[in-house]
Structures are given as structure tokens and as C-alpha cells.
């Protein structure tokens, strides 16, 4: 279990010398507990304290990396059971199983559709992560399919091979790609460890119960393999949820390092709605990877949206980049509207400006993701901060007029904003829904 701030404080010198940059040892302990500081900042730690704190700084659930470049997927390194306690760190990878028994053209077509599963929501890109190739026939067909899949996608790859020979031959083709191997029938731990180390892959393992699983991860660890992913099996959804929850709980709450690995689940459901529902359950609790077979955009979008929400920091509102956004074919006479960088505020204003069909600029002011009234009350959306944003984003250079439209709710700042910015302030509607009519009558 992770040490609390007070537990950590007991291990510190308690001299309050300030060399760590904080005014007291207690403040430093609190920063360590939040993982906002490193132990190297205190030069006076005893050897024993350092050893304890270093072992504590290792993640309780291992971070495993698959793929590379823009398509790199990192899973694990989670620290809490419930996102309100802190946040979930590494979004669950979503992947698609393709059987090698399909014809080449079908595999190509499926890969093309999977590659195209990219969406944008509240200013963020939502993308899928993995393609899993499942061996159904002989090694030769598996190898051919591996070539076909790897040549047509840059997504991370999962090789679901029947035997070590097929997997080894496939890995020879994929040298340099960080893939995940999934020996469908299970194999001898020593042989698996050798293959995994020789090809620098991550490995999926499973066992009939948690004790056997712990023993297996320990054995593989002793053989030098640590990038493991646990396939959580079960006859029913509740059985799988039980397995996922127990593994997470034992790793985080009991400090069982033998179970401190990300989990994987496979959904075998032919109905796309049932499949989406089951996959959603595993994304919510606590799969690091979910593999499905359906690739319809309507099914995948709902899963990506759920994942986005679950892996958003609950203490940080969704934000967009603060800057000057042109909407439509703007020119130097286009109206300029001001709002905050809270995603919901910005996208609501954006939608209404687009609906007005009047090309306009929107200035998104950095309010740390707060909405208009909240930011105003917290003094994050002030005449000074708006004027600074106008200067920083070059609004004076973008338009020849000097008019600025502000949300109706903050009409009270008009005079001061005019003084601070040099712009003539026009008070816009209180609600974004009034923007189209307002712009048309401007
Ligand atoms: S450097 Fe170490 S001893 Fe000094 S205040 Fe920071 S934690 Fe305390």
C-alpha cells in the first residue's frame, strides 16, 4: 500500500532546512505522497529511508508500452481503485481481433476500416490502438497474414499464435516493432521467457486462479520477464469483473507485486450492441486492454467516448488550448467574441457561431478550464487577463476594427475591460443560443 504523507514524514530528517525547495519536511513529505516531487531533492535522507522510499516510488501496477511513435500505447501504472481518489492515468487500449482464416482482401478491407476509426470530441482526438491477429490455421498462413496486417497498419500488434514456432516466425518479420504476444494455448514459462526476451515483446499470460497466476508472474520475473499482461478469463461478465477487481485490489491495496500488471479482456459476442456493452464494462473496471471483433464506427465511438470520460482527470475540467480561433472564412472585419478555455463553453460558442454562418473569431482565454461565471468569480476571467490574451494572440493585428463581444453574464466588466484593452466592448447574449441572432443584428 502506498505510504501516506505522514508515514513519509516519519522517514525524513525533520530539520526543516529548506534545501529541497520547500519550507518544511512535512511539506516535502506531502509532495512526495502526491508524487509531485522526487526523493533526490532531499540530500539528507538516511540510507534506510531512501531504500523504503525508492521501493515505494515503483508503480504498484507495472507500466507496459506497446507499439511506437504516435501509435504508442502505454497501459498500467495505475494508483487508485476509484477515479475520484486521484485519476486513472493510462487509458485502456482498444483493439480488434482479425482471424487469419479471412481472405487477403477481407483482411485488407478490415484493416482499412480500423485505421479510419478516428474521431474528434471536445477538441481531443479519439483513436483505437491495436490489431490482434488470431491464428486459425497453419503457421504459413499465420505468417502471410502477419505480413499483410503489419504492412497495412501502424497500430500496435497483438500476435495470437497457437505455438511458439508460429510466434517466432512472425516475430522474425516484425523485428523492431514492439508487439504483444499472446500464446493462445499457453506454453512452458522458460520457453516463453526466452522468446519474449529475444524479441523484446510484452507477453499475455493467464492462469486458472490467482495463486497460480502469482506463481507464474514470479517465475517469469525470475527469468527476467516483467512486461506482462494478465488475460482475465471467466464464463460470465460478473466472473471477469470479479477477477479484474481482485487483481487491481490485491496489487494496490495489499501491495501484491506478483499481480501488479495491467489486465486484458477479450469480448466474444457477435451482437454489436452486446459486444459494446460488455466491452464498456471492462473499460470501466479495470481492463488495460479490451479486444473486440466488431469495428462498426457507431460501436467504437461509444467505447472511445466512455474511455475518454473515465480517463479524464475529475479534478481538471476538459480544456482547449487558449488562442485565437478563426471560424469560417474570416477577414479583418470579422466580429471577435471572447470566451473561456473550458471545452464546454468554447464548443457551445463555436457551435452557435457556425450556426450563424457569420465568419468570426473566438478568443479563448486561459481560465484553467473554468466556465465564464466560475472563472469570473475566481478572478481567472478578468479585464486584465482578457486584455493580456488579446495582446498575446495578436487580435489587434487580425482585425481592423476594435470591437469585442463579451458574454452577457460578465457585462459588469465592460468599462474596465475597455480601459485595459483599448477595445470597445459590446455585451453579447447571456446564453450561447442567442449568438446567431445577435451576430446577424450586429
Ligand atoms: S531537504 Fe530534507 S531535511 Fe531539508 S527540509 Fe527538505 S525534506 Fe527536510
What distance in Å separates the CA atoms of residue 323 and residue 336, rounded to the nearest whole number? 12
pLDDT, residue 97, reads: 98
Say if ligand 1 is within 6 A of residue 19 CB: yes
Chain length of the chain: 442
CATH 3.20.20.20, the chain: domain bounds: 64-310
In DSSP terms, which residues pair with 74 in a beta bridge? 65
| pLDDT of amino acid 121 | 87
Mutate to test the pocket of ligand 1, among 6, 13, 37 (most ligand atoms within 8 A of CB): 13
Contact 160, 179 (CB under 8 A): no
Q: Ligand 1: distance of its center to the CA of 10 in Å?
A: 12
Q: Where in the chain is the domain with CATH 3.40.50.11600?
A: 324-440
3-state secondary structure at position 382: coil
Start-end of CATH 1.10.15.40 domains in the chain: 5-57
CA distance 206 to 240: 12
Grid cell for residue 174: 516484425
Peptide bond into 286 cis (omega under 30): yes
- Look at domain 5-57 and name its CATH class: mainly alpha
Q: Does residue 49 have its Cβ closer than 6 Å to ligand 1?
A: no
Distances (CA, A) of 227 to 187, 258, 285, 302: 17, 12, 21, 30
Nearest CA to ligand 1 atom 7: 25
Sign of the torsion angle spanned by Cα atoms 76, 78, 81, 82: negative
Longest dimension (CA), the chain: 78
Please give the Cα distance from 205 to 156 (Å, whole number).
Answer: 18
Q: Which of 6, 8, 18, 20 to mutate to test the pocket of ligand 1 (most atoms within 8 A of CB)?
A: 20
Q: How many other C-beta atoms are found inside a 10 Å radius of the C-beta of residue 153?
A: 16
Mutate which of 5, 8, 11, 22 for ligand 1? The one with the most ligand atoms within 8 Å of its CB, which is 22
Q: Distance from the CA of 77 to the center of ligand 1, in angstroms?
A: 28
Distance 23 CA to ligand 1 centre (A): 8
d(Cα 64, Cα 264) in Å, to the nearest integer? 12
DSSP assignment of 390-434: HHHTTHHHH-SS-EEEE-GGGGGGHHHHHHHH-PEEEE--SSGGG
CA–CA dist 404, 174 (Å, integer): 56
Interior/surface letters 388-412, b for 16+ CB within 10 angstroms, e for the rest: ebbeebebeebbeeeebbbbebbee
What pLDDT is recorded for position 310?
A: 94
- Say how many Å lie between the CA of residue 60 and the centre of ligand 1: 26
Q: Quick check: 430 and 409 in contact, CB under 8 A?
A: yes
pLDDT at 123: 79
Q: How much distance in Å is there from the Cα of 371 to the middle of ligand 1?
A: 39
- Give the per-residue pLDDT at 1: 56
Would you say the CB of residue 434 lies under 6 angstroms from ligand 1?
A: no
Regarding the beta carbon of 232 and ligand 1, being less than 6 Å apart is answered: no
Q: Is 8 in the pocket of ligand 1 (CB under 6 A)?
A: no
Distance 89 CA to ligand 1 centre (A): 29
Average pLDDT along the chain, 442 residues, taken 10 residues at a time: 83 94 93 84 92 80 92 93 90 97 97 96 90 95 96 96 93 92 87 94 94 95 95 95 97 92 95 96 97 96 96 86 96 97 93 96 96 94 97 96 96 96 96 95 88
Q: How would CATH label the architecture of 64-310?
A: Alpha-Beta Barrel (3.20)
Question: What fold characterizes domain 324-440?
Answer: Rossmann fold (3.40.50)
Amino acid at each position: 500500500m502506498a505510504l501516506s504523507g505522514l508515514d513519509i514524514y516519519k522517514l525524513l530528517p525533520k530539520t526543516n532546512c529548506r534545501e529541497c525547495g520547500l519550507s518544511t519536511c512535512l511539506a516535502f513529505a506531502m509532495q512526495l505522497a502526491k508524487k509531485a516531487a522526487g526523493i533526490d531533492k532531499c540530500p539528507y535522507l538516511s540510507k534506510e529511508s531512501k531504500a523504503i522510499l525508492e521501493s515505494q516510488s515503483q508503480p504498484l501496477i507495472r507500466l507496459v508500452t506497446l507499439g511506437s511513435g504516435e501509435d504508442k500505447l502505454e497501459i498500467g501504472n495505475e494508483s487508485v481503485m476509484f477515479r475520484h481518489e486521484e485519476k486513472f492515468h493510462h487509458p485502456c487500449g482498444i483493439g480488434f481481433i482479425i482471424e487469419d482464416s479471412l481472405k487477403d482482401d477481407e483482411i485488407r478491407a478490415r484493416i482499412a476500416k480500423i485505421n479510419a476509426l478516428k474521431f474528434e470530441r471536445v477538441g481531443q482526438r479519439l483513436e483505437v490502438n491495436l490489431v490482434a491477429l488470431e491464428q486459425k490455421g497453419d503457421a504459413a498462413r499465420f505468417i502471410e497474414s502477419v505480413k499483410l496486417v503489419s504492412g497495412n497498419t501502424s497500430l500496435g500488434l497483438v500476435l495470437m499464435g497457437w505455438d511458439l514456432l508460429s510466434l517466432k516466425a512472425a516475430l522474425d518479420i516484425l523485428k523492431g516493432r514492439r508487439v504483444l504476444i499472446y500464446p493462445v494455448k499457453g506454453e512452458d514459462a522458460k520457453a516463453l521467457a526466452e522468446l519474449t526476451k529475444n524479441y523484446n515483446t510484452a507477453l499475455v499470460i493467464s492462469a486458472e486462479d490467482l495463486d497460480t497466476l502469482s506463481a507464474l508472474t514470479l517465475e517469469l520475473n525470475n527469468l527476467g520477464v516483467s512486461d506482462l499482461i494478465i488475460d482475465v478469463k471467466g464464463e460470465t461478465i460478473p466472473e471477469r469483473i470479479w477477477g479484474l477487481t481482485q487483481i487491481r485490489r490485491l496489487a494496490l491495496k495489499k501491495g501484491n507485486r506478483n499481480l501488479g500488471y495491467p489486465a486484458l479482456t477479450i469480448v466474444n459476442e457477435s451482437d454489436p450492441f452486446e459486444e459494446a456493452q460488455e466491452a464498456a464494462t471492462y473499460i470501466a473496471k479495470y481492463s488495460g486492454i479490451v479486444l473486440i471483433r466488431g469495428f462498426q464506427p457507431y460501436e467504437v465511438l461509444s467505447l472511445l467516448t466512455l474511455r475518454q470520460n473515465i480517463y479524464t482527470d475529475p479534478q481538471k475540467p476538459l480544456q482547449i488550448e487558449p488562442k485565437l480561433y478563426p471560424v469560417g472564412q474570416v477577414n479583418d472585419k470579422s466580429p471577435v467574441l471572447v470566451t473561456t478555455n473550458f471545452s464546454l463553453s468554447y464548443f457551445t460558442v463555436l457551435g452557435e457561431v457556425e450556426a450563424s454562418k457569420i465568419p468570426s473569431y473566438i478568443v479563448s482565454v486561459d481560465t484553467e478550464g473554468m466556465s465564464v461565471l466560475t472563472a469570473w468569480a475566481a478572478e481567472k476571467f478578468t479585464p486584465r487577463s482578457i486584455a493580456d490574451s488579446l495582446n498575446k494572440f495578436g487580435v489587434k493585428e487580425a482585425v481592423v476594427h476594435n470591437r469585442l463581444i463579451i458574454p452577457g453574464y460578465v457585462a459588469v466588466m465592460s468599462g474596465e475591460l475597455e480601459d485595459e484593452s483599448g477595445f470597445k466592448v459590446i455585451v453579447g447574449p447571456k446564453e450561447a443560443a442567442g449568438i446567431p441572432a445577435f451576430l446577424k443584428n450586429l
